[in-house]
Structure 1
């Protein structure tokens, strides 16, 4: 299983950065997990628009799905359009982004695959488990398994034992770390921190922790230090490029 980070900013992309986006590949199958702001140009540096086999979106906030629109445009408007793109998301999560174009323009470009958070299914060679995790919108945390490797991604989430259950024994946990330490009171139930992510990683016994969704302007070293205070394994930040 190969993981390429396209972006890891929360809310909006910082200068030269992109919001949530991860390209996961196995046995020639290319799965795009999230398509946040500014992820498409980074994706196209690795694979043509028609080369993506499926998309998974955790929830409907635009920093996780806005660039699905230009991805579908690139496919729909190609001289030789590829087959419809399988798009997995909770029901209604993509209504706003799919409504950006005139009715029917993108219909032939995608194949909607709605699922309820908590469902288990397959996407190509990947075995998929999902969990409903606390956020302002229904957010589906993701566990992907293929080739004896396991990757877990939280999407955006506040504190929940379900994160630990989903991540148990995973090789890599990509976790919401919007804040370094203290989460503002009005967001405490719906967003995470680097320190909280470190605690999840330690409790779940994961092999590696990757912090994502950092608020623009956050010092990555401070986030890593906060997570490392709770987790004894390898910690890093979701920086664009292949995860070594």
Structure 2
């Protein structure tokens, strides 16, 4: 399994980086995970829009799904005979995004496969198990397994005992680390810190950690140091272009 980082910021993109988004590949199958703001250009620098085989969206906030819309335009307007893109997302989470275009324009561009967080299903070569994790809207953390490799991904989440089960023995954990340590009261219970990620990654015996959804302007070195206070494995920050092979 190969994971390519398209972006790693939360909330909004900057001039140099998009929001969190990941290309996950195995045996020629290309899965796009959370195509947030400004993740489409780095994706298209690697492969054409039509080469994406499926998409997974953890929740409906635009920093996790906004660039799905131009991806669908790029596919359907270039070739209306091309296959529909299977899009897996929590039920109702993409309704507003998919309704912003003129009626009928995206007909045939996608096949929406809605699920309830907690469901298990097959997605191409991956077996996917999902968890309902705490956020302001329905958020589905997911565990992708294939070929003896495991990727765990939190989406956006507050503290939850389910995070240990999600991450257990994963080759790679991609985790919400919006803040370095202290979480502002207005976000408590709905977002995480790098320090928290380090604590549950250690308990879950994760092999490698990738911190994502950092608040724009956060020093990457500070986030890594906070996670390493409890976790002694490899810790990195999701930055565009980073490629991780699992198992590494």
TM-score, length of structure 1 as denominator length: 0.98
SS at match of 2:216: coil
Q: Distance in 2 between matches of 1:92 and 1:44?
A: 27
Q: Distance in 1 between matches of 2:52 and 2:230?
A: 37
SS at match of 1:195: helix
Q: Distance in 1 between matches of 2:167 and 2:70?
A: 32
Tell whether the 8 Å contact from 1:20 to 1:63 is kept in structure 2 after alignment.
Answer: yes
Q: Which residue in the other structure is 1:233 paired with? A: 233
Q: Distance in 2 between matches of 1:82 and 1:231?
A: 46
Q: Which residue in the other structure is 2:182 paired with? A: 182
Tell whether the 8 Å contact from 2:80 to 2:108 is kept in structure 1 after alignment.
Answer: no
Q: Which residue in the other structure is 1:63 paired with? A: 63
- Encode CA deviations 1:85-117: one digit per residue, 9 max, x unaligned: 000000111111111101121121000000000
Q: Which residue in the other structure is 1:14 paired with? A: 14
Q: Distance in 1 between matches of 2:200 and 2:14?
A: 26
Displacement of 1:80 after TM fit?
5.4
Displacement of 1:173 after TM fit?
0.3
Structure 1: 5+ residue runs without aligned partners?
none
SS at match of 2:152: strand
TM-score, length of structure 2 as denominator length: 0.97
Q: Which residue in the other structure is 1:31 paired with? A: 31
Tell whether the 8 Å contact from 2:144 to 2:150 is kept in structure 1 after alignment.
Answer: yes
Displacement of 1:42 after TM fit?
0.6
Structure 2: 5+ residue runs without aligned partners?
none
Q: Distance in 2 between matches of 1:144 and 1:34?
A: 14
Q: Distance in 1 between matches of 2:144 and 2:125?
A: 10
Q: Which residue in the other structure is 1:200 paired with? A: 200
Computed over aligned residues only, the root mean square deviation of the Cα atoms, in angstroms, reads: 0.9
Q: Distance in 2 between matches of 1:94 and 1:82?
A: 22
Q: Distance in 2 between matches of 1:7 and 1:49?
A: 17
Tell whether the 8 Å contact from 1:14 to 1:217 is kept in structure 2 after alignment.
Answer: no
SS at match of 2:30: strand
Tell me whether 1:243 sits opposite 2:223 in the alignment. no
